[in-house]
Amino acid sequence: MRDYTYIRSEKLAVSFFLHKKTVVLTLALAIASVAALLLSTGMGDMRIAPMDVIRALTGGGTEEYQLVVRTLRLPRIIAAFLVGASLAVAGSILQGIIRNPLASPDIIGITSGASVTAVAFINYLAGTVSILWMPVAAMIGAAITAILIYALAWKKGVTPIRLVLIGIGINFLLASLTKVMLVMNPETTAAQAYVWLTGTVYGTDWVVVKTIVPWVCIFIPLAFLLARNVNALQLGDDIASGVGSAVQRQRFVLLMVSVALAGAAVSVGGAISFVGLIAPHMTRKLVGPAFGGVLPIAAFIGGLIVVIADTIARTAFLPYDIPVGVFTAGVGAPFFIYLLYRNRNAA
């Protein structure tokens, strides 16, 4: 019990166990995230010192700095962070309830559902309907796909393996539809669609940030409240029902939470891969599988990966602005490989 500390009140009926390492890591990551936000805001074609960034944020500094910081860079960076955090939390939930290390928002069709509608939108509607509706289309695609998969997997309840197998099947079907649209359409829209499929937060403004914030603010805390259900489901359906979980209902609710988060993230950032798959693994390598601890750390790690990747993507190849999806793996994979190597003798 040395690793734990507790919070207990003598008057109120409140009692918590806290894993010390998790608390320390969460705080450290929170500080790192704020630092990353400030540093990233200062980087780019116009370099701004961190102190000037803070000044511009609080309403001081030159007007030019204010424009660059508050209108151009900050919304993009915040969107990147929220996208990464949502994907990481969605992935953690899925890996918990499906009990398979390969589970991620990509594999159960959420990303491919969003992709197919987004690419269709780019190809067939982009001229007639405002591009601002594309996130909505992507979100609808993700939701329909998730519901379809759940319905197909339902047969007196849903088992994780059936859910995943059917998810993979639908995933491939939609991915090939996307491919058909790419092959059959003129190369300009194909290139645009390809950028979307890689994942990008280019040109994000406050309107976009406002569309994703509610999802994050509702569903990440909700996931936190449901953490103990995930802990039970991680033990397997039999044990979970043995300890009193309503397995089917909880799985459905958790699945929908993860669909909402991943769908919102994908509709803003495109099909950014890898974060939802790897951030949860990184987190478990750092703090173990208890979900209450995994969730905040995964969120910070996911957010940090996307922010750092996007910073590289928009600064390393100036004047080109490269889609962030190209670098999420470039940033995350080396660290993950290091963790894999460091924990090589762990079970």
Partner 1 sequence: MGRLLPSNLAKIAGLIFGLVIMIVFMLSSMKFGITPIRWSDVFHSFTNYDSSSNEQIIVQTSRVPRALVAAAIGASLAVAGCLIQGLTRNPLADPNVLGINFGASFAVVFSVSVLSLTSLPILTGVSFIGAAAASLAVYLLGSFGRDGLTPLKIILAGAALSALFASFTQGMLVLDAQGLDEVMFWLTGSVAGRSVDMLKAVLPFMAVGWLGAVWAARHMNVLTMGEDTAQGLGQRTIVIKLIVGLIIVALAGSSVAVAGPVGFIGLIIPTIARLFAGSDYRWIVPYSALLGAILVLAADIAARFVIQPSELPVGVLTAVIGIPAFIAIARKGVVKG
Q: Which residues bind partner 1 (CB under 8 A)?
A: 100-102, 107, 152-153, 155, 159-162, 164-166, 168-170, 172-173, 175-177, 179-180, 182-184, 187, 190-191, 194-195, 198, 273-274, 277-278, 281, 317, 320, 322-323, 325-330, 332-334, 336-337, 340-341, 344-345
Kindly tell me which of 124 and 317 has the beta carbon lying closer to partner 1.
317
Q: C-beta of 23: minimal distance to partner 1 in Å?
A: 26
Instruction: Identify which of residues 23 and 177 has a Cβ nearer to partner 1 in the complex.
Output: 177
Describe the chain by its helix, strand, coil percentages, rounded to 5. 75, 5, 25
The distance of closest approach from Cβ of residue 312 to partner 1 in the complex, given in angstroms and rounded to an integer, is 11
Task: Please say which residue, 208 or 271, places its beta carbon nearer to partner 1.
Answer: 271
Here the contacts of 213-221 (C-beta below 8 Å, separation 24 or greater) are 213/82, 215/86, 215/260, 215/261, 215/264, 216/82, 216/85, 216/86, 216/261, 216/264, 218/260, 219/86, 219/89, 219/257, 219/260, 219/261, 219/264, 220/85, 220/86, 220/89, 220/261, 220/295, 220/299
Cα 218 from chain centroid?
14
Distance, CA of 232 to CA of 18 (rounded, Å): 18
- Give backbone dihedrals phi and psi of 130, rounded to 5 degrees, phi first: -60, 140
CB of 337 to partner 1, least distance (A): 5
Question: E-assigned strands of the chain?
Answer: 4-8, 15-19
CB of 115 to partner 1, least distance (A): 14
CB of 314 vs partner 1, minimal distance in Å: 13
CB of 84 to partner 1, least distance (A): 14
Nearer to partner 1, 158 or 212 (CB): 158
Peptide bond preceding 319: is omega within 30 degrees of 0, i.e. cis?
yes
Q: 3-class SS at 138?
A: helix
Q: In terms of CB distance, is 194 or 206 closer to partner 1? A: 194
DSSP 317-343: TTT----THHHHHHHHHHHHHHHHHHT
* Smaller CB separation from partner 1, 219 or 274: 274
Our CB check for partner 1 shows the closer of 47 and 156 to be 156
How near is the Cβ of 151 to partner 1 at its closest, in Å? 11
| Complex with partner 1: residue 92 or 328, whichever CB lies closer | 328
The sign of the CA dihedral 218, 219, 224, 226 is positive
Q: In angstroms, what is the minimal distance from the CB of 109 to partner 1? A: 11
| Whole-angstrom distance, CA of residue 326 vs CA of residue 86 | 19
Q: How far is the CB of 101 from partner 1 (least distance, A)?
A: 5
Tokens of 4: 């734990």
Between the CA of residue 262 and those of 143, 146, 220, 270, 276, what are the distances in Å?
A: 10, 11, 11, 10, 8
Nearer to partner 1, 53 or 197 (CB): 197
* Residue with token string 């630092």: 35
> Residue 235 carries which DSSP code?
T
